[in-house]
A and B are shown apart, each in its own frame.
Chain A
Amino acid sequence: MKKFVPGTIFLVFFLLLAPVMAAECRQWEALFFRANQAYKEGRYQESIDNYGKLIQSGLKNGHIYYNLGNSYFKKRELGRAIFNYERARLWLPGDADLKYNLAFAYDQTRDAVIEPQSLVSITFFWLKEVTLIEVFWGFAIMNLMFWGILFVRLFLRSEWTYYLFLVFLVFWIIGGLSFGLKYYRAETDDRAVIIKNEVNILAGPDNHDTVLFKLHEGTVVHYERSEDGWSLVHLPDKKRGWVKGNGIEIIRKTRSTQDSPRKLKNRSRNAKEN
C-alpha cells in the first residue's frame, strides 16, 4: 500500500496543475505568433521583446533563441544575433537553418579569430551535431546492451555471445568517451560573445589601463572571471585582457563561468598580497 502513495500524490498534483499548464501553453503560443508576425512585418524590436518574454516565462528552447537571433540580425545587432544563435546551438546543433545563419553571421564579423581544431574534435566529429542529452541517451542504450550481454554470458558462454560482447564493448567505449567528452565540454564551455560594436581590451580592470587591442561585435572570446564589473577574457591565440562587463554575453552559465568560493578566496588573498 505504501508503494502507491507517491504515485497517487503525483497523479493528483498533475491533475490539479494540468489546466494551469494548458493555459500557459496557450499564452506561449499567442506570444510566439505575435513575435513571428512582428518579425515578418519588419518590426524587429517588437519581435525581440516578445521572444524575450517567452524566454523569461521559462520557455527555453532552440527555436526561440534561433528566432531571437534572426530578429537581432535584422536589427543589425550582429553580436546579440551570434550570441542567440550560439545559445540555440546548444539545443539544435544539427539544424540546417541555424548552421547557415550562424555561418552567415560569422561571415559578417570583423575580427579574424579562428578557433583551432584539436585532434579530439576531428576524431569525435559527430559531437558537433548532437546535444548532450542525445549523447547521454545514446550511451545509456549502449550501456544497457553491454551489461545485458555480459549478464547473458553469465549463463550462456557460447561463441556468438562472445562476438556480440566484443561489438558491444567497442560501442560502449566509443559511447562512453563521446559522452564524457561532450559532458566535459558542456561543463567547461566558457565562450562569450562581444555584443558591443567595438570594445577596448585593457591590461587591467580599470579605464586608465593600457588598451591592448580592440574587438568588434560578434567575436567569440573565452571568459575567465569577473571583477568589479570587468571581465577577464582571452582569445584562442592567448591574447588576454579585461573588457567592461556589459561588452560581452556569456553563452552558457556553467560552473567554469561562475565564480566559485575558492576563486573568490584566492582573489581576495592575491589582492591582500598586492
Chain B
Amino acid sequence: MKKTLVLLPAFLFFLLSPCLANTHINCTIRLDRHKAALMDSVKMVVTVSGTKKIDSRPVLSGLEPFDVTQRGSSSRVEIINGKLSASTDYIYFLQPKKTGIHIIGPAVVRAKGTVFKSNKERLIVKKIVPSSGSDQGPLFLSAGLSAKKVYVGEQAVYTIKLFHRARISNVSLNLPEIKNIGFKQLGKPSEYQSVYNGRSYKVLEVRYALITSSNGVFGIEPSQMSMNVFQPRRQSSRSLFNSPFSGDPFFNDSFFSMSTGRPVTLASKPLELKVLSLPKRGRPAGFSGLVGNFQIESKLEPSNIKAGESATLTVCLRGRGNVNRIPDLKVPELAHAKVYADEPVLKTETDTQGITGSKTMKWAIVPEKEGQYRIPELPVSFFDTKNHGYRVIKTAVLSLSVLPGEMGEVAVLTGHEKKKGPPSPAKKAVKEIGHDILPVHTSINGLASVQPFLPRNILSLLFMVGPLFIYFAAFFALRYKKRSKGSSAAVKAKKAAKKLTQKCRGKNFSSGDLILYIRDYLNERFGLSIGSMTPDDAIEILKARGVSDQTAKKLQVILQGLESSIYSGKGQGPVDIEENIPRLINKIERELR
C-alpha cells in the first residue's frame, strides 16, 4: 500500500513531465495599479507560465527606486481541454522611495539554460494622493476620473478609493446612474497600504471604465459605499501599547467598544465629465465609431497551394478602446477564386487602464485556377484619442501562389484547414466550398413520352365510376327483391275482402263455413295464421288495426250469432247471408285505409 502511494505521484510526474517540457515558457509582470504616491505599497506579480521548474527566481531590473518586500510564491497546474499548463506567481510589494515615472522590468528567468524575458511596466509616483476625500478622518471615500474630457466612445477610468484604518467587512458599493454612460468594472478590487496626510491607511480601490455613447457635460453623482466597521475593545490605561486610534474622536464612539461592528455609509464627492463629439472633419467613409488605439495584423497560410485547395487569410485587429465597434471586414471578390468568410471572434479583456480586446476574422480562399493571386489591403478607420484625429490602418498586400490542381481531387473539405495527427473529438459542420448544379440524367430507361396530367381513357373512368356503379346496382337489386316480397303480401290483403264478398254471394254454405271464411279474411288481410278464432279474438284484432269499436262490435255480434246457430243445431244447414256482411267488410276496409 505504501509503495503504491509513493509510486502514484512518481508515475503522474513521469506522465506529465513531457507535457511540461514541451510547453512554451512565458514571463509577465503585472502591477495592481500604475499610479501611486510616495510610501504607497504597490503589489507586483511576476508570472512564469509554461513550466513549474526554473533554474532560479526571476531577476528583476528597475527596482532601485523602491523598497521591495517578497511575499512568497504560488504555483498551479491546470488541465484544460486535455492541455496541461503550469504557472508560478512570484509576489512582491514595492514601496516607492522617490517620485517620477519608473519603468519596472523586464524580469529575467532561466529554464534549462534558456533565458526568457518579461514585459516592462510603468509606474507613476507622485508626492500626494491625487484625490479629494469627503472625509479626511480615519475612514473616507474618494473618487477620481482619469480624464475630465473624453470623446464619445473613449473610455474614462473612474476610481473609487476607500481609505480606512479600522477593520471593515460587508463592503458594498452603489454607483450613480447616469444616462448615456455605462460602468464596466476593471478587474477585481485591490487592497494596499498608503500614506495620506502623514497617516498610514489601508486602501480598497475599485476601478470602472466609463463607456460614453453621446456628447455633453455629465454630472457624476456621489458613489456610496456601505460597510461594517470594527474596532478592537478599548485597551486599559495599563496597557503597554496604546491603540493608534485612541486619540481619534471617530473611534471614541461607544459603538466601537463592541466587537460586532457598526454599519457606516460613506459618499464620495460629485464629479463632472465632459464628453466631446467626434470631429466631422476628416472622418473617413465607412467609419464605424471605433475610438481608441488599434493595430492590425494579417497573414495568409499557406501561401503556396494547388488549385481547388484552400488557404486561410487571418486578420486580427487589437487595441484599447470600444472594441465592440470593430467592424467586420470584407474581402473583395477575387477573380477565379471563391472566398468564404468564417464567423469573426471578438475577445474583450479588462486591465487597470480600461478595456482592451481583439477581433479575429478568417476567410477560406479557394482558387479555381493556377496563377498568382493578390489579396488587396483591407483598411480600418478609427479615431485616435492620443492624436485627436482619425487614422486609417491597413493590412499588408498578400500574395497567393497557386499551382495546377490534381484531377479528380475532392473539392469539399471539412473546416478551413486539414489537421494532421490524431483526430479531434470535437466535430465541425461540413462547409460547402464549391457550388454547382448536379449533372444531366443520361439513362434511357425513362426515355418515353409520359403524361403527367389526368388520364382521359376508359380504364381510368372505369376505375373511378365502375365500383360506384356496381355497388349501387347491387344495392337496388337487393332492395327490389325485398320490396317485391312485401308487395305480394299487400296484394293478398287487398284481395281478401274481395274474396270474402265473392264467397258470401255463393249458395249452400253453413254457419261454420261462414265463420271459416271470416277467419280466412282476417288471416289474409292482416298476415296472420290463426287456426281457431273466437268473436272476442276478432274484435281485438280489428281494434288493434284501427277499426272503430262500433264496427268491430257489429262483426262480433254476427260471429256470436253464427256460433250460437252452430251450437243450437241450426247451423248445419245452409244459412242466409245477411246483406250486412259484405257491407260491414267494406266499412272495415274503409276504416283500415
A contact set with B: CB distance below 8 Å:
25, 28-29, 32, 36, 39, 47, 58-63, 66-67, 70-71, 73-74, 90-91, 97, 100-101, 104-105, 131-133, 136, 140, 143-144, 146-148, 150-151, 154, 183, 186
Contacts and interface: CB of A to CB of B under 8 A. Distances in A.
Contacts of A104: 435-437
B458 to A, nearest CB: 11
Interface in B441-455: 441-444, 446-455
Contacts of B467: 143-144, 146-148, 151
B438 A150 contact: no
A104 to B, nearest CB: 6
B335 interface: no
A63 B467 CA distance: 35
Interface stretch (B83-91, B166-174, B209-217, B470-478): B470-478
Contact of A36 (B442, B452, B455): B442
Contacts of A140: 460, 463-464
A151 B470 contact: yes
Nearest to A91: B452
Contacts of A32: 444, 447
B252 to A, nearest CB: 79
A64 to B, nearest CB: 8
B470 A147 contact: yes
Interface in B463-489: 463-464, 467-468, 470-471, 474-475, 478
B113 interface: no
B439 interface: yes
B454 to A, nearest CB: 6
A76 B448 CA distance: 28
A60 B468 contact: no
B6 interface: no
A114 to B, nearest CB: 21
Interface in B110-129: none
22 contacts: A28-B447, A29-B444, A32-B447, A59-B448, A61-B446, A61-B449, A62-B446, A62-B450, A66-B441, A67-B440, A104-B435, A132-B454, A133-B451, A133-B454, A136-B454, A140-B460, A140-B463, A144-B463, A148-B467, A151-B471, A154-B474, A186-B453
Nearest to B453: A132
A97 B453 CA distance: 22
Contact of A133 (B444, B453, B471): B453
Nearest to A254: B453
Nearest to A141: B463
Contacts of A133: 451-455
Nearest 9 pairs of A and B residues by beta carbon: A147-B467, A140-B463, A67-B440, A63-B441, A101-B437, A97-B438, A91-B452, A131-B452, A147-B471
A58 B447 contact: no
Given A104-B435, A105-B437, 14 more contacts: A36-B440, A59-B449, A61-B449, A61-B450, A97-B438, A104-B436, A133-B452, A133-B455, A144-B463, A147-B467, A147-B468, A148-B467, A151-B471, A183-B454
A151 B443 CA distance: 45
Nearest to A135: B454
Given A91-B452, A140-B463, A147-B468, A29 B447 contact: yes
A113 B534 CA distance: 94
A63 B454 contact: no
Interface size class of B (residues with CB under 8 A): 20 to 34
Contacts of A71: 440
A131 B440 CA distance: 21
A59 B460 contact: no
A132 B454 CA distance: 6
A144 B443 CA distance: 35
A212 to B, nearest CB: 32
Greatest chain B CB density within 10 A among A58, A71, A97 is at A97
B470 A97 contact: no
B455 A136 contact: yes
B563 to A, nearest CB: 49
A104 B439 CA distance: 13
A67 B439 CA distance: 8
Nearest to B444: A29
Contact of A61 (B435, B448, B471, B478): B448
B412 to A, nearest CB: 15
B438 A143 contact: no
A25 B439 CA distance: 23
A90 B449 contact: no
Interface string B166-210: 000000000000000000000000000000000000000000000
B461 to A, nearest CB: 10
A166 B441 CA distance: 44
A7 to B, nearest CB: 13
Interface in B416-446: 435-444, 446
A14 to B, nearest CB: 16
B450 A154 contact: no
B437 A70 contact: yes
Greatest chain A CB density within 10 A among B440, B444, B454 is at B440
A59 B453 contact: no
Contacts of B454: 132-133, 136, 183, 186
Nearest to B467: A147
Contacts of B437: 70, 73-74, 100-101, 104-105
Interface string B253-270: 000000000000000000
B304 to A, nearest CB: 30
B582 to A, nearest CB: 46
Nearest to A105: B437
A237 B474 CA distance: 53
Contacts of A59: 447-449
A133 B438 CA distance: 27
A91 B443 CA distance: 16
B475 A91 contact: no
Given A29-B444, A132-B454, A147-B471, A100 B463 contact: no
Contacts of B450: 60-62, 91
Contacts of B474: 151, 154
B441 A143 contact: no
A144 B465 CA distance: 9
B449 A58 contact: yes
B470 to A, nearest CB: 7
A70 B463 CA distance: 38
Contacts of A29: 444, 447
B438 to A, nearest CB: 4
Contact of A143 (B435, B446, B452, B463): B463
A93 to B, nearest CB: 9
A147 B449 CA distance: 33
B106 to A, nearest CB: 56
A67 B442 CA distance: 9
Greatest chain A CB density within 10 A among B448, B460, B470, B471 is at B471
A101 B478 CA distance: 58
B467 to A, nearest CB: 3
Nearest to B470: A151
B480 to A, nearest CB: 13
A95 B447 CA distance: 16
Contacts of A61: 446-450
Contacts of A36: 440, 442
A132 B453 CA distance: 6
Nearest to A90: B452
Contacts of B446: 61-63
Contacts of A100: 437-438
Greatest chain B CB density within 10 A among A47, A67, A146, A150 is at A150
Contacts of B435: 104
